[in-house]
Homo-oligomer: A and B are copies of this chain.
Amino acid sequence: MHIISIEIKDRRFVLPAGVGSDATHTTPQYSYAVCCLKTDTSITGVGLAFTLGVGTDLVCKAIEYLSMSLVGREMEELMSDFGTVYRKMVDSPSFRWLGPHKGVVHLALAAVVNACYDLWAKSRKVPLWKLLLDLTPEQLVNTLDLSYLEEVLTRDQAIAMLTDHVPGRENRKGVLSTGYRGYDTSVGWFNFSDEKIVDNTKKAMANGFTALKLKVGSDDPARDVRRAGLIRNVAGDNATIMVDANQKWNVPQALDICRRLAEVNPFWIEEPTHPDDVIGHQTIARTIAPLKVATGEHIPNKVIFKNFFQAKAMDFCQVDAVRVGGISEFLTISLLSKSMGIPVVPHVGDMGQIHQHLVLFNHIGMDHEHLFLEHIPHLKQYFVNPAEVCEAYYQVPQTPGSSSDLKD
């Protein structure tokens, strides 16, 4: 199977009022820059990068620059040494000036890389999670670019880690029977009224969810504390409640408000400050312990994740395969995360479509803990094979590929 041409799509979706809103991103339009790899067969590889609307065209244009070198490539040959292909794309000598490894060009890379893995899985007629499990440790590591991680994770160490976890796979395959647990993010969008978040909490609990998220970061922190209390009252002491400030606070504010939010016993506090601030997060994590810090949806690459892990600046790693350099860099960061003792709980800019595969592989193949995966249902109608969540569990996808196909 050969890639014969590239098609790029700018897809933007209208959301109901208030949906997707947070303290920082008040009026999101969920959108995808889509890379489609056309082949000499009827199969097309589809890769997504997530945006909030404005400027998706920039990502689309960057996809064009990054993907052109793929035309003519044979799939198995391409993926047999994809780590090298990846490194050539991210370190293209002049284009990299626009990043490197961050922003528009890296979002575009996500779409291109994800399309390659999607096509690979489709060509082998297996869902992505199975493709990844079918690879030998060496074959999997061949798809990764481990440069700039040498002092913490070498190629040999990565292969050894995967190899060490092969014997335990059978036990962990139990997840293929149960499905992967989900948590509900759509309970408490920032612009929702108190009545609506209470009502949504009841509905979520009725649907089997026991883990819920509330958006915080209000100008008046008392609103955050009050709303978190409302959800705690409805959901009960046993529910898992996460609060998410979406970068709204500076470090002194975060320290103050986290202290006040502690009374509702949140499972984590997400994005308490600027996503680039490793030392700010370190200060917050040290000060608010045993409260825990989650972050990662705006961390663009493995080098910055490495720094967060080294600084013990996050307790949960929320890497997103439609923000970092696609599935390849997601896997690299998952390996790094595992080696440094941090659980991976992805942010799902893809609405969980790709990540439902990735958490299965992370759990079975790397022995990452089966915690839960974010669930956001708002784009379900636009996917050809939307993630199925029953009684709060993601059902194991069986269709070949990464579940990224969008309806026209």
Interface residues of A (CB under 8 A from B): 24-29, 51-55, 57-59, 61-62, 65, 91-107, 147-151, 247, 250-253, 273-280, 283, 298, 300-301, 303-304, 306-307, 310-311
Contacts and interface: CB of A to CB of B under 8 A. Distances in A.
A59 B58 CA distance: 9
Given A148-B250, A150-B250, A252-B151, A28 B93 contact: yes
Contacts of A276: 101-102, 301, 303-304, 307
27 contacts: A24-B91, A24-B96, A25-B96, A28-B97, A52-B94, A53-B94, A54-B65, A54-B94, A54-B95, A55-B94, A55-B105, A58-B58, A58-B61, A58-B98, A58-B104, A103-B103, A103-B104, A103-B105, A103-B106, A148-B250, A148-B273, A148-B277, A150-B253, A277-B303, A277-B306, A278-B279, A279-B311
Contacts of A307: 276-280
Given A91-B24, A93-B25, A251 B150 contact: yes
Contacts of A58: 58, 61-62, 98, 104-105
Contacts of A279: 278, 306-307, 310-311
Given A62-B58, A277-B306, A51 B98 contact: yes
Of all A-B residue pairs in the complex, the 4 with the closest CB atoms, nearest first, are: A103-B103, A104-B104, A52-B94, A52-B97
Given A55-B62, A61-B58, A100 B275 contact: yes
A21 to B, nearest CB: 9
Contacts of A54: 65, 92, 94-95
A164 to B, nearest CB: 24
A85 to B, nearest CB: 18
Taken together, the copies of this chain in the complex come to 2
Nearest to A152: B251
A146 to B, nearest CB: 10
Contacts of A57: 61
A53 B92 CA distance: 12
Contacts of A52: 93-95, 97
A35 to B, nearest CB: 16
A404 B260 CA distance: 50
A324 B25 CA distance: 22
Given A151-B280, A310-B279, A98 B103 contact: yes
A234 to B, nearest CB: 29
A303 B247 CA distance: 13
Given A25-B94, A277-B148, A300 B102 contact: yes
Given A55-B62, A100-B275, A151 B250 contact: yes
